[in-house]
Structure 1
Amino acid sequence: MTDLKQEIARILPFLRRYARALTGAQATGDALIREALQALAGGGARLDPARDLKPQLYALVHAAADGLSTETAPEDDSGFKARLGALPAAPRRALLLSVLEGLSRAETATILGTDVDTVGAWLAQAHDELAAQPSARVLVIEDEPIIALHITEIVRDAGHEVIGNATRKSEAVALATEHRPDLVLADIQLDDGSTGIEAAQEILESLDVPVVFVTAFPERLLTGERMEPTYLVAKPFDPETLVVTMAQALFHHPGR
């Protein structure tokens, strides 16, 4: 039992990341995790220690998402009901599991209760949806020039516009105020000693915009001990991971 708990604890930060990307909000995603863990604790769901636990835990998150009611809404999430109604359909879920979480098609099929061929069809459909997504105006906050250039190329190749790159918090806030981007991509550590989180918090005081954080240690930001990012991409990152995360962030903020 101790080994099982330790393995769940090891996977938990990645479940948090997935649940938040799935729902588009920290509070809603964490509510899914609570529901899944409570189902385990109450005997409403079981894990088979003889099988890989990771797909089983992701399946529990989906079961919680499909069974969650507005009665369990977090007090700080007034858009809880709307977010439940906007949960991604199977193709986008398959894309998130495959690209964001790095799961195989066989694992994704197990989680979604289908077969590998269907997962392949769903992934093709999801990629078509990505290609049809409207262009967005993106602010990049990154103090490493080579990484900033790489991110800029990925953003532009995905059909979006980069409105500027900031290396300091003050510069990021000024660019956001002037250009009002549709999306912000932020590194955690900046060259003036500030953080991308601090920059994003100040930007969000006057602008409702999704923020994707890029960090080498995403699990360190998903402890459940404080206000935390909704979207996280781990360094070094695969371009498709960044593109899919951007798409998911924009998916949950359609009013732009």
Structure 2
Amino acid sequence: MSSEKPLRILVVEDEILIALELESLLQDLGHDVVAIAASSGDALARGRELKPDLAFVDIHLSDGPTGVDVARRLAGELQVTVLFMTANTKRIPEDFAGAWGVIAKPYTERGVREALGYVTAGQLREPDEARTVTFVPFGAAPRERSPQVS
């Protein structure tokens, strides 16, 4: 478990087994999963209500390919740090919809760790050559705000 303050994380994923597995992994890494949302409406409502530090957002949700809109609104309106978690990276827009990076599915524990390290430290903890392609940070992601780890 990390000595850093736990992040409050919203998991936006409509495949319940993937969501529960990710929740378990994040909890094992010392973080607090505040909610799991399967649709865009639920994700935005949970984001407003719970004000998470970080959201893992799948592109395709139970109400269609609405994850990009969810990411854009969570990042823009609610100031939530967003990471995409998807097998369909071609749907990520050029402006990244406010997200800081993407974790490719199927994800690995190492990819999730790298992503968490990236958002908490603002940079990767391992040299680029040692990094897997499971997590890809976006170079244009906003760096002026970091997750609220107060």
Give the TM-score normalised by the residue count of structure 2: 0.75
User: Secondary structure of 1:232's partner?
Assistant: strand
CA spacing shift, 1:255–1:178, aligned 2, 3 Å? closer
Instruction: Find the aligned partners of 2:41 and 2:88 in 1 and give their Cα distance.
Output: 24
Q: Which residue of 2 aligns with 1:244?
A: 114
Instruction: Find the aligned partners of 2:56 and 2:147 in 1 and give their Cα distance.
Output: 17
Matches within 5 A, 1:165-180: 165-180=36-51
Instruction: Find the aligned partners of 1:248 and 1:241 in 2 and give their Cα distance.
Output: 10
More helix by share: 1
User: Counterpart amino acid of 2:112?
Assistant: L
User: Secondary structure of 1:201's partner?
Assistant: helix
Residues paired across the two proteins, number: 124
User: Counterpart amino acid of 1:199?
Assistant: V
Q: Which residue of 1 aligns with 2:82?
A: 211
Q: Which residue of 2 aligns with 1:164?
A: 35
- Correspondent of 2:24 among 134, 137, 153: 153
Matches within 5 A, 1:224-239: 226-228=94-96, 229-239=99-109
- Asked if the contact 1:168–1:194 (Cα under 8 Å) also holds between the matched residues in 2, the reply is no
Matches within 5 A, 1:40-189: 131-189=2-60
More strand by share: 2
- Asked if the contact 1:135–1:160 (Cα under 8 Å) also holds between the matched residues in 2, the reply is yes
Instruction: Find the aligned partners of 2:148 and 2:34 in 1 and give their Cα distance.
Output: 19
Structure 1: 5+ residue runs without aligned partners? Answer: 1-129
Larger Rg: 1
Structure 2: 5+ residue runs without aligned partners? Answer: 123-145
- Asked if the contact 2:6–2:32 (Cα under 8 Å) also holds between the matched residues in 1, the reply is yes
- Asked if the contact 2:80–2:147 (Cα under 8 Å) also holds between the matched residues in 1, the reply is no
User: Counterpart amino acid of 1:236?
Assistant: P
Instruction: Find the aligned partners of 1:204 and 1:254 in 2 and give their Cα distance.
Output: 11
User: Counterpart amino acid of 1:227?
Assistant: D
Instruction: Find the aligned partners of 1:134 and 1:199 in 2 and give their Cα distance.
Output: 26
After the TM superposition, list the runs of 4 or more consecutive aligned residues in structure 1 that deviate by more than 4 angstroms.
none
Deviation at 1:204, TM superposition (A): 2.4
1:95-151, Cα deviation, whole Å (9 max, x unpaired): xxxxxxxxxxxxxxxxxxxxxxxxxxxxxxxxxxx8222201000000001101111
CA spacing shift, 1:217–1:254, aligned 2, 3 Å? closer
User: Counterpart amino acid of 1:237?
Assistant: Y
Stretch of structure 1 that moved more, 238-247 or 176-185: 238-247
User: Secondary structure of 1:212's partner?
Assistant: strand
User: Secondary structure of 1:206's partner?
Assistant: helix
Deviation at 1:160, TM superposition (A): 0.4
User: Counterpart amino acid of 2:94?
Assistant: R
Q: Does 1:192 align with 2:63?
A: yes
